[in-house]
Homo-oligomer: A and B are copies of this chain.
């Protein structure tokens, strides 16, 4: 299959009349090799087009220099940013990443985990699927001492470190902002409350209502998946409410955008009839009309932080097990969709 035979350190050792060991050491810039031989080695390496055989090396050294990443979906702005952040620091550190996605299914997530375990990744970064509740499938990793780090969608437990934002607080300030705009009947569109991120934002929502003396109304809570269809359905539900809410806090910008569209199509004026706050700060929020007030969720930072911590742990610079939770800064971005003109 391969045209030319691969050149190995033996080939270059022979030509140089030195031992393979010397070549190996030279390539690694080992101090005990003279400048002269090093130069000779590097020159010949270039000339002969030698390339390291990472398999031989890894086989020998017993690590893979790759880290696994499990996410729920690829088609999300947020996830893409996180990936970009991870990629940035891992490649800098000379690590490869293997990306797997679970399509929101626990089974697939477990299968991915198993696969990555068998591939012997040196570490794992994961965001959980919708219906993942236990961390059993990650047990093999912790048993073998392979560090695992969760971000965004997480389950807290003793053995793992998580990188998150303060979702309760974010839910609180989003809702609070709506209240400050004069909203009295605030709906909340979200996803499965079994998932930490959504339940926490929901808690923030309820706390904010409570603190303002607004009674929680179960009918104003709309739970769905995060699909386009769910956004339309949520809007339809809102339209049927009597009286309609005057504010909506949506757990995701895309769903917020879809929902807004349907609302507008039905003659609802935003923000005057209904003020809207989203979540994530996707690019879309600045493009729709009115522009979308949202919570800034800095995906790239999350990715960088997660990757950096993992790699520092791997290289012995720090110890991940000492850290249980890393909270990343996030804040409210106010745009037009929530600014009542009467104010």
Question: Which residues of A35-60 are within 8 A (CB) of B?
Answer: 49, 51-56, 58-59
Chain A, interface size category, equals: 35 or more
Q: For A144, give its contact among B2, B119, B254 (CB under 8 Å).
A: B2
Are B75 and A117 in contact (CB-based, < 8 A)?
no
What residue in chain B is nearest A114 (Cβ atoms)? B51
Given contacts A264-B289, A287-B288, whether A3 and B144 have CB atoms under 8 Å apart is yes
Are B75 and A80 in contact (CB-based, < 8 A)?
yes
Q: For A1, give its contact among B58, B119, B145 (CB under 8 Å).
A: B145
Question: Which residues of A282-296 are within 8 A (CB) of B?
Answer: 283-284, 286-289
Are A140 and B96 in contact (CB-based, < 8 A)?
no
Chain B residues in 8 Å Cβ range of A119: 54, 96
Residue with the greatest number of chain B CB neighbours at <10 A, chosen from A51, A55, A62, A80: A55
Given contacts A53-B59, A118-B51, whether A3 and B143 have CB atoms under 8 Å apart is yes
What residue in chain B is nearest A253 (Cβ atoms)? B287
Given contacts A55-B58, A55-B59, whether A3 and B145 have CB atoms under 8 Å apart is yes
Are B55 and A55 in contact (CB-based, < 8 A)?
yes
Decide yes or no whether A164 CB sits under 8 A from chain B.
Answer: no
Question: Which residues of A1-35 are within 8 A (CB) of B?
Answer: 1-4, 6
Decide yes or no whether A74 CB sits under 8 A from chain B.
Answer: yes
Given contacts A49-B140, A53-B59, A87-B101, whether A287 and B75 have CB atoms under 8 Å apart is no
A101 vs B83: C-alpha distance when bound (angstroms):
12
Interface string of A269-309 (1 = CB under 8 A from B): 00000000000000110111100000000000000000000
A240 vs B254: C-alpha distance when bound (angstroms):
33
Question: Which residues of A135-193 are within 8 A (CB) of B?
Answer: 140, 143-145
Chain B residues in 8 Å Cβ range of A261: 286-287, 289
Question: Which residues of A88-137 are within 8 A (CB) of B?
Answer: 91, 96-101, 117-120
Chain B residues in 8 Å Cβ range of A330: none
Are B80 and A84 in contact (CB-based, < 8 A)?
no
A156 vs B117: C-alpha distance when bound (angstroms):
40
Decide yes or no whether A325 CB sits under 8 A from chain B.
Answer: no
Chain B residues in 8 Å Cβ range of A64: 55
A118 vs B51: C-alpha distance when bound (angstroms):
5
Give 30 A-B contacts (CB < 8 Å), ordered by A residue.
A2-B62, A2-B144, A3-B143, A3-B145, A4-B144, A6-B62, A49-B140, A51-B120, A52-B118, A54-B118, A54-B120, A55-B59, A55-B64, A59-B59, A74-B80, A74-B83, A74-B84, A75-B80, A87-B99, A87-B101, A96-B98, A97-B99, A98-B98, A99-B99, A258-B287, A261-B287, A264-B289, A284-B284, A287-B288, A288-B289
Q: A1-B145, A55-B64, A257-B287 are in contact. List 4 more A-B contacts (CB 8 A).
A: A54-B120, A75-B81, A96-B119, A258-B287
